[in-house]
Structure formats: structure tokens, C-alpha cells
């Protein structure tokens, strides 16, 4: 075991009478107390003007002496104000800290190196078990130990020891106060987001599930897990999470919920969601979320009984932000859904001039077909289908890969394509 902390040569060491504590003096002008069992730095004794060249314990262990040049200092059990608080051994910038080992394990998981990740977690676990046992009044060590125990079990192919670690975690986390469970939940939620961004939805779901278990009051976490389920085409499980998530005053949650209902062929539930969405948030939603609100209500025909409200909202948004392709696309779709086909073509063409999007092409195909312009409709549909086919043939890790698209974009393209091909 090594004791790290001094920045200059160590000049003297002494054991306490009970052999549980080591005292060291160094050229860095400090003396330090160490827990012999864990190697934990307990206290730093400062205020020396010169290197500390000699240290000693009194026979009763309650007093210390440090000699520096021509000065001797006496300390009462190292509790005088000059003795600083114990060193925190979870510094993420310390390459030897267990926190760094855990973070490295997370990173190794992310880049698909499970065996090395397991080794990193084991290294952290060996240290944290000692620290948590020796310093039970230091909650950060308990928190880090709990994280270290659960992280290996989240891997797609968890190591054999992960099951035992998980059982230990199950024993520990119910004993944590609510605020620390929430903090641990946040960390696992962030780990899940990292896995989701790196294309590992199964591991993301595992991390999200554990975070929800730790902090069930965080309804927004259901939205993230629901999206991970949807990315894997597990639509019923995604639906359960979005049902919880739409309790929030969050138009994005409602948009995803509505999209999922269309994917499941539940048009009546989609229409009910749009109607409730307008009733709840039309007058209260923030300006940056009202386009999403309007867009949700034009994904499919006959979303709400009074589409005039949606058209009026979309017109207002497009007028306020004429350079927004999304506002222009929403207005064009709103005109399409209300039978204003000429206006729809004009606005969708404007949107395509701002930014080319396959969803806009599919909407233009629908609009031209309803005017009886079959050739133009076919051209727009073919353009969208070619884009979709190219995305489907791209390598899975390519930026323009179909699999890399958000699930909601994939579903929307599928819905509009089917609608255009049925016209």
C-alpha cells in the first residue's frame, strides 16, 4: 500500500501507539496523518515555515510533535484549527482515485471494451470497500461504492461478478437518504444518456431503469427511457413510459407520445392527445415550444375538431420567424390538413428553399396529388424515397445512417411515406 499526498521528500515517520495511524513529515512543510488500514489521508498539519524533519507521537497517542528547522510544534490529537479537514479521495483529477477508476470504467463501457471496464470497476471497488468501512460517516464514499457496485451490471454482457455486486447494491441503496439516492440517480441517468448517444440503447435502458428506481419522482426520466425503448422498436414499453411522461407540462413529451400512438395505429388516441394538448397548453406554452405543439397536431389528418386554431397558431409562428424552416413546414402542413392545397404548396416550397428535408418532400407529394398533379407528386415522393433508401444503405455508424436518426424522425418519415403512397 502506498500513501500519496506529499509533494516533497518525506523526512520522518512515526506510528501511533495503537498502530492505526501513521504520521509523516516532509520537505513540503507539512505533516500528514494517515489511516494505516485504508491509506486514507486523514489530516494535513500546515503552518510550518520550513521542511518538517522530525515527527513523533506522545505515549498516550493524544499529542503530536513536529520539528521544523529551529521550531517544535505540539498538536493536541491533531485537532487544532491549523489541522485541515481530511483529504477527499474522490478527486476526479487524481489518476489514482476510485472516482477516476469508475469514470474510466464508464468510458470503457462506452467504447465497447467490457473486460477492461470490469477491471477498472474492480480497482475502484477494492479501494471503496475499505474507505466506506473505515469512514462510515463520510457519505461520499458510500455513494461512490453504490455506483461502483451497480455500474458493471448495466453492461450488455455483465461479468460473472456483476450479480453479486448488484445484490450488494440492493442492500446499500435503500439505506441512502433521499437526497443521496437522487444524486446517484442523476449520475446513472447521465450514464444512460451517454450510452444512448453512443448507440447502445440496451445499456441506456438499464441505466435509465436504475435511475428511475432510485428517484421515481423524476417523471422526465421516463421520457428518456421511452425514447431508448422506441429506438429499439419496443413500442409497448415506450408507450408506458410516455404515458407517465406526458403528465409533465412539456410539449416534447406530448409530441413523442402522439407520434408513438400513430406508430401503433391508435389514431383515436392520437386525436385525443392532440385535443388535450391544445386545451392545456395553447395559451400557456412558451414561444419556443408552440411550433412543436402545432406540428404535433398536423402529423396526421383530422387531429383535432377545430383545426382553425392550429392554422392560426402556425400562421402567427411563421410570421414571427419567417426564416425558420420548421415554422414554414408546420404552416404548410396545417394548410394541407385543412384543404388549403394551393397555400400548402406555396408554404412548403418556401420551406424547401430554406432547408431541404425529406418530410417536406413527402408533404409536397401529398399536396400535389390532391391537386391532381400526379407527375409532380411522384417526383417529390421519389426524391424522398431515394433519400430514405440511401440512409438505409449507409453504414450503421455513418452520420446519415437510418439507424442514427432519432426514432421519432424514422417513424414520421414512415407515416408520411405510407400516406403519400396510398394517395
Q: Lowest-confidence range among 54-58, 59-63, 153-157, 225-229? A: 153-157
Supply the pLDDT for residue 85. Answer: 37
Q: Lowest-confidence range among 38-52, 119-133, 232-246? A: 38-52
Residue 107, burial from CB neighbour count under 10 angstroms (0-12, 13-18, 19+): middle
Domain boundaries, the chain: 10-76, 249-423
**pLDDT tens digits for range 199-234:** 888 999 999 999 999 999 999 999 999 999 999 999
CA gap 236, 229 in Å, rounded: 9
Distance of alpha carbon 387 from the chain centroid: 31
Residue 344, burial from CB neighbour count under 10 angstroms (0-12, 13-18, 19+): buried
Query: Which of 69-83, 90-104, 140-154, 299-313 has the highest mean predicted lDDT (pLDDT)?
Result: 299-313
Q: Lowest-confidence range among 35-49, 242-256, 270-284? A: 35-49
Cβ contacts of 101 within 8 Å, gap of 6 or more: 120, 121, 123, 124, 127
- Residues 249-423, CATH architecture: Alpha Horseshoe (1.25)
Whether the pLDDT of residue 335 is over 50: the answer is yes
Average pLDDT value for residue range 337-359 = 97
**Percent of the chain residues past pLDDT 90, beyond the cut:** 52
Whats the size of the chain, residue-wise? 423
Strand partners, 111: none
Whether the pLDDT of residue 173 is over 80: the answer is no
Nearest to 336 by CA among 291, 292, 369: 369
For the CA atoms of 353, 356, 362, 365, the dihedral, rounded to the nearest 10 degrees, stands at: 40
CA gap 154, 201 in Å, rounded: 11
The H or E element that residue 72 is part of is strand 71-76
Supply the pLDDT for residue 190. Answer: 93
Residue 62 or residue 412, greater confidence: 412
Average pLDDT value for residue range 238-258 = 88
Supply the pLDDT for residue 76. Answer: 67
**Percent of the chain residues past pLDDT 70, beyond the cut:** 92
Supply the pLDDT for residue 356. Answer: 96
**pLDDT tens digits for range 361-372:** 999 999 999 999
C-alpha cell at 256: 413523442
Supply the pLDDT for residue 164. Answer: 73
- Mean pLDDT of the residues in the chain: 87
**pLDDT tens digits for range 86-144:** 455 676 767 778 889 999 999 888 888 888 998 999 899 988 888 888 777 778 888 88
Q: How confident is the model at residue 79 (pLDDT cuts 50, 70, 90)?
A: very low
Cβ contacts of 88 within 8 Å, gap of 6 or more: 140
Whether the pLDDT of residue 288 is over 80: the answer is no
Longest dimension (CA), the chain: 102
Q: How confident is the model at residue 40 (pLDDT cuts 50, 70, 90)?
A: confident
DSSP state, residue 83: B
Amino acid at each position: 500500500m502506498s500513501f500519496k499526498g506529499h509533494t516533497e521528500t518525506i523526512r520522518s515517520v512515526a506510528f501511533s501507539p495503537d498502530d492505526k495511524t501513521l504520521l509523516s513529515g516532509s520537505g513540503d512543510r507539512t505533516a500528514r496523518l494517515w489511516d494505516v488500514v485504508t491509506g486514507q489521508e486523514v489530516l494535513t498539519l500546515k503552518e510550518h515555515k520550513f521542511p518538517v524533519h522530525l515527527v513523533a507521537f506522545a505515549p498516550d497517542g493524544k499529542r503530536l510533535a513536529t520539528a521544523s528547522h529551529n521550531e517544535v510544534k505540539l498538536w493536541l490529537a491533531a485537532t487544532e484549527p491549523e489541522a485541515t479537514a481530511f483529504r477527499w479521495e474522490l478527486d476526479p483529477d487524481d489518476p489514482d482515485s476510485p472516482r477516476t477508476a469508475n469514470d474510466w470504467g464508464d468510458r470503457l463501457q462506452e467504447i465497447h471494451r467490457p473486460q477492461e471496464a470490469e477491471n477498472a470497476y474492480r480497482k475502484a471497488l477494492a479501494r471503496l470497500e475499505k474507505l466506506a468501512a473505515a469512514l462510515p460517516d463520510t457519505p461520499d464514499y458510500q455513494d461512490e461504492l453504490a455506483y461502483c457496485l451497480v455500474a458493471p451490471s448495466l453492461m450488455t454482457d455483465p461479468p460473472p461478478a456483476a450479480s453479486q455486486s448488484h445484490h450488494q447494491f440492493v442492500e446499500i441503496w435503500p439505506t441512502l437518504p433521499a437526497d443521496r439516492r437522487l444524486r446517484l440517480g442523476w449520475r446513472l441517468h447521465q450514464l444512460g444518456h451517454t450510452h444512448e448517444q453512443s448507440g447502445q440503447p440496451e445499456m441506456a435502458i438499464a441505466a435509465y431503469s436504475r435511475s428511475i428506481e432510485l428517484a421515481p419522482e423524476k417523471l422526465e426520466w421516463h421520457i428518456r427511457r421511452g425514447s431508448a425503448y422506441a429506438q429499439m422498436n419496443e413500442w409497448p414499453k415506450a408507450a408506458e413510459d410516455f404515458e407517465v411522461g406526458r403528465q409533465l407540462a412539456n410539449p416534447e413529451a406530448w409530441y413523442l407520445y402522439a407520434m408513438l400512438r400513430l406508430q401503433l395505429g391508435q389514431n383515436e388516441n392520437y386525436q385525443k392527445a392532440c385535443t388535450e394538448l391544445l386545451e392545456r397548453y395553447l395559451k400557456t406554452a412558451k414561444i419556443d415550444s408552440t411550433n412543436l405543439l402545432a406540428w404535433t397536431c398536423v402529423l396526421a389528418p383530422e387531429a383535432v375538431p377545430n383545426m382553425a386554431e392550429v392554422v392560426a397558431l402556425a400562421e402567427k409562428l411563421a410570421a414571427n420567424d419567417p426564416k425558420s424552416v420548421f415554422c414554414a413546414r408546420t404552416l404548410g402542413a396545417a394548410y394541407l390538413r385543412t384543404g388549403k392545397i394551393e397555400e400548402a404548396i406555396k408554404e412548403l416550397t418556401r420551406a424547401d428553399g430554406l432547408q431541404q428535408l425529406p418530410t417536406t418532400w413527402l408533404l409536397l407529394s401529398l399536396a400535389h396529388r390532391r391537386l391532381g398533379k400526379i407527375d409532380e407528386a411522384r417526383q417529390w415522393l421519389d426524391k424522398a424515397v431515394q433519400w430514405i433508401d440511401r440512409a438505409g444503405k449507409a453504414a450503421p455508424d455513418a452520420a446519415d445512417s437510418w439507424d442514427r436518426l432519432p426514432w421519432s424522425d424514422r417513424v414520421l418519415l414512415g407515416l408520411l411515406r405510407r400516406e403519400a403512397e396510398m394517395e
